[in-house]
Each structure stands twice: as structure tokens, then as C-alpha cells.
Amino acid sequence: MTTADQWPVLIIDDEKDIRDVTALTLMDAGYAVETAADGAEGLALCEQFSPRIVITDIRMPRMDGIQVLETIKQRFPDTEVIVATAFGEMTIAIRALQLDASDFITKPIHTEAMMVALERARHRYRTRKQLKDYTRHLEKGLSRTTRQLEDTVAYQERLIESSMDGILGCDGSGKVVTFNRSMEQMLGLDRAGVLHRATLEYFFSKTEYRRFQDDLAAPGHGSTNQLILYETCLLDHHQKPVPVQLSATVLMEEEKSAGLVCFFRDLRRIHRLEQEMADQARLLHQDKMMSMGRLAASVAHEINNPLAGILNYIRLMLRTFNKGPLPADKHAQFARYLALVETETDRCSKIVSSLLTFSRKSPVSVGPVSINEILDRSIVLARHRLELGNVTLATRISDDLPDISGDANQLQQCLLNLIFNALDAMIDGGTLTLSASSEESPKTVVVRVTDTGHGIREEDMAHIFEPFYTTKQEGHGIGLGLSTTYGIIDRHGGTLSAGSQQGRGTTFEIRLPVQASILHHPGGAA
């Protein structure tokens, strides 16, 4: 077995601390390690350093991890690539595997998980090298029939053993004659106790095996004697069900069945990913409902004031009508009353409309988004909270901000989260400044939320975007707001950053590209 110190590894990550810690860990394990701060530097090192394994972060400026993966696979196809992803990026991780990544690990990176991923990458590298060595032997003209037959059988065995899918084959009598390593791992069974002893029926419950046989004989799942992407359950060594997706075909010889071959894909990991995505969607909605609770009292007061005015004007007009026909000198006064009723009613309508738009749980809706409209709606919803908190609102918003592509509901959730956090930081009143402008190169919309509150401690700044991290007192938040906001802005192709001075206030800055589109992700439905 090749030792670790003969394996050159390249680490690509834009965060220096992560690069340094990961490099030290791998060097202690005996690997030869080089590091790069971005994708371009990493590709240049691939030319000089010739790493066998590259560990790259997904989220990096200018050139992200997916682009690095694609370029490495084009230019250095023998190099194995492990991608590092944050929680909630499972869709991107799956995309990386589709682009032939060796594996993915989640951030923060745990040493044990990283070592497992490296061992898998080394195994994969060795297997591919063996296959290439076999191909080179053929190209050199090894034409002896016996050697060709031996090499072909060995090659086929390696393919079967290297397959990530479970492969099971039965002969004409129904006995298992092929049972690869993936099947062993999937079901926890030793092939020695299976080969030439067990039949296919052994791996199914009675009901599932009967359904499998009926569907294999019918044309509805591919064709007669064939199943394609068929979902069922196998039984593991504890007789517990394992959800799988299989493709199966009956092997024919002289129009008679000569056996059966099945390919199984373990669905447990996919189901876990689906559950994680569903859990994240619930967290996003939970954060929004917390914001809704903070809005409720404010909106009630905001609507109550114009409604009281409307009621008073209507009572005045009714009192005048009850005295008899409307005198001519009252026409102008009534017109003024009605105009005020219309204005106040329209104000109530806008408040309710903004609240309904924000509270509705809807799927991701990508389209042109006016940042000016989002800012206006957010100010309407937060106005009374500003008054109750003795906070002065200052705005520096350009009138002609370009539209961006994204989900307006999610972006409004982000802005309200930042406004509410600013208000919570100004318990004795202060000034909230909302500014918005555009930049040309690259074309970007920049939104800033600035408060004059107590600020954020330096030791907290590195953690404020982590889920469930909060500096608020118990009962005043669970630490999801900034994490949710960060994730939404990131999926829009933008960035969220913060600057703060204790005792002088905090500024949060959102930068959104004008041309970018939102990344589709099941967790995005807020």
C-alpha cells in the first residue's frame, strides 16, 4: 500500500486560517502539502506541483470551487478532487459529484471526515491507474489470446468491484454468482456467505419480491423482462429495509432465461439530503414567523391611527347629513373629508398589502426585483417600530436603482431582519440610516443598514453569520436571522458583510449583482 508521504495534496481555500490548519493536519499525517488562496493560484500550482489530490472550497471569489473542479478535470483528468461545502449547499455538492468529484466534506471540516475522504480518493486514484495500465498494455500489442482473456476478466472484475452501485447477478438456476463490494457495504453481508448459496428472493421481503417479479414480467417499467429506475426495498443483515433504486434485466440465451443482473443504488443518503433540505426550509420559515411576531404590534398601531381618523370623519359627515340636506357651503368641507378618508384608507391598504406579501409562504419566484420597492415596503412595515423606539430614520436611496434578478419576498425578509436587528441594538433610541446606490464595474446594487447602537464585540464578529449564534438575551432571538439573511444573499450571487465599533454602531452591507440569477435550492423557499 502506498504511504501518505508519497501523496502530494493541494488545498485551495480563500480563508487563510482554514488553509493553515488543514495543511498542518495533513502534513502531520505524512502528506506533501501545498496551498493556494484562490482558484487561479491553485490551477497554476497544479502545473508546477502535480498534486494527485486537490481539496477545494466551493465558495471563493472570482473562481468558485465548481469552476476549479471542471478546469482540473479538463486539464488534469488523473487528479482526484474533494470539494468542501457549507451546511445547506447539498445541491451544489451533488452537482460536484456529477462533475466527477471524488467526494465532498462539509464545513467546518472534521479531521476524521477529511481522512476518510482522502482514503477514498487514494483508492479511486489507484483503481483508475490500474485501468489505465491495463489499457496501455493493450495498446502495446499484447495479442496473445490467453493473456487477453485473463486481462479482460480481471478488467471486468475491477469494474464491477469499483462500481459505486451495488451489482448482483444470478445464474439460470437463480443462485447468486456476482455480489460486489458495494452490495456488501449496502447490506452488511459477506459475499462468501452469499455467492452460490443465496437466491435473489433472500434479499427481499415476500411482498416486495412478489411485486418485483410481477413488474419484471410486465412492460410497464421499461419493457418485458426489464426494470429501469425501479424503487423498492432490500433487507440488510438485520432484516431491516434498505430503500434502493434498481435497474434489472433478464439475460437471454437462445430465447431462454440464462440469469438476471441487477444494479442497485442506495437511496438512504439521498433521503437524508432531502430531509436536511426540508429541515432548512422549516428553519427559514421559522425565522420569518419570528419576524412576523415582531411586526404584529407595530402594524396594529400603524393601522389603528388612520382607521381612527377615517371613523371620525365619517361620523362628522353622518352627523351633518342627519341635520338635513347638505348646505352648499359644506360641499368643499365634505370633499376635503372624503379626500382624507381616501388617503388614510390607501395608507391602510398599503400596510396590509406589504404585510401579506411578506408573510405568505411561497416557493422561490425568480424575476426582476425593484430594490426601491422593497425598501419602500420595508419602511412602511417598520415605521411604527421606529417611532416606538424613538429612532430617527434617515434615507439616502437613489431613485433609479437597476432591477436585479431574484426573489423579492426573500430579499425583503433579509432587509427586515437587518432593520429589526438595528432597532434591537438602539434600546435608548438613535438614528437608523438606509442607503442604496448602484455601481457600474461590475454592475452592482449596494444596500447599507447603519445604526448608532451599542455595536458588536470584536470576538463576536467572526461568528455572527453562524446558525443559532446570538448575542441577545434569552427569549429575544435564537440566532437564525443573520444566518438566514447570509444564505439568501449568497444564493442570489451576492455578499453580506458587517463592520462595527463598540459604542458607535454597526453597518451591514448587501451587494447584489444586477445580472446574476438566484441559485435554485429547496431550502430557499421561505
State pLDDT tens for residues 331-386. Answer: 887 887 788 788 778 767 766 765 665 555 555 578 899 999 999 888 887 887 78
Residue 467 reports pLDDT greater than 80: no
Apex CA 242: angle with CA 525 and CA 267, to 5°? 35
Question: 132: which residues sit within 8 A by CB, 6+ positions away?
Answer: 78
Q: Please report which confidence band the pLDDT of residue 430 belongs to, taking 50, 70 and 90 as the band edges.
A: very high
Checking DSSP bridges between strand 80-85 and strand 53-57, what pairing results, if any?
parallel
Cβ 122 vs Cβ 102: under 8 Å: no
Tens-digit pLDDT profile for residues 16-60: 988 899 999 999 888 999 999 999 999 999 988 889 999 999 888
pLDDT score, position 87: 63
> What is residue 215's three-state secondary structure?
helix
Tens-digit pLDDT profile for residues 215-228: 998 887 777 888 88
What is the radius of gyration, based on Cα positions, of the chain?
32
Q: Please report which confidence band the pLDDT of residue 2 belongs to, taking 50, 70 and 90 as the band edges.
A: very low
Checking DSSP bridges between strand 404-406 and strand 444-451, what pairing results, if any?
unpaired
pLDDT score, position 358: 55
User: Alpha-carbon distance 491 to 104, whole Å?
Assistant: 19
92 against 522, higher pLDDT: 92
pLDDT score, position 386: 85
Count of alpha carbons within 13 angstroms of residue 95, beta-carbon side: 14
Cβ 23 vs Cβ 11: under 8 Å: yes
pLDDT score, position 442: 86
Residue 241 reports pLDDT greater than 80: yes
DSSP state of 198: -
Q: What percent of the chain has pLDDT over 70?
A: 82
Name all domains of the chain by residue range, CATH numbers in brackets.
4-136 (3.40.50.2300), 163-266 (3.30.450.20), 273-524 (3.30.565.10)
Omega into 522 within 30° of 0, i.e. cis?
no
245 against 357, higher pLDDT: 245
Q: What is the DSSP secondary-structure string of 336-399? A: HHHHHHHHHHHHHHHHHHHHHHHH-------EEE-HHHHHHHHHHHHHHHHHHTTEEEEEEE-T
User: Alpha-carbon distance 34 to 18, whole Å?
Assistant: 13
Chain center to CA of 194: 40
User: Alpha-carbon distance 492 to 511, whole Å?
Assistant: 10
> What is residue 480's three-state secondary structure?
coil
pLDDT score, position 394: 94
User: Alpha-carbon distance 106 to 108, whole Å?
Assistant: 6
Residue 521 reports pLDDT greater than 60: no
pLDDT score, position 367: 86
Q: Which residue(s) pair with 80 in the sheet?
A: 53
Cβ 31 vs Cβ 7: under 8 Å: yes
User: Alpha-carbon distance 96 to 66, whole Å?
Assistant: 6
Tens-digit pLDDT profile for residues 131-179: 887 777 666 655 565 565 566 656 667 777 778 788 899 998 889 998 9
User: Alpha-carbon distance 508 to 497, whole Å?
Assistant: 6
pLDDT score, position 327: 77
User: Alpha-carbon distance 23 to 123, whole Å?
Assistant: 21
Question: 18: which residues sit within 8 A by CB, 6+ positions away?
Answer: 57, 109
Q: State mean pLDDT over 312-320.
A: 79
Q: State mean pLDDT over 455-478.
A: 65
* Mean pLDDT for all residues in the chain: 81
pLDDT score, position 1: 39
Burial class (CB in 10 A: 0-12, 13-18, 19+), 65: buried
Q: Where are the beta strands (DSSP E) in 236-298?
A: 241-253, 256-266
Q: Please report which confidence band the pLDDT of residue 203 belongs to, taking 50, 70 and 90 as the band edges.
A: very high
Would the pTM count as exceeding 0.85?
Answer: no
> What is residue 499's three-state secondary structure?
strand
Most confident of 122-136, 203-217, 299-313: 203-217
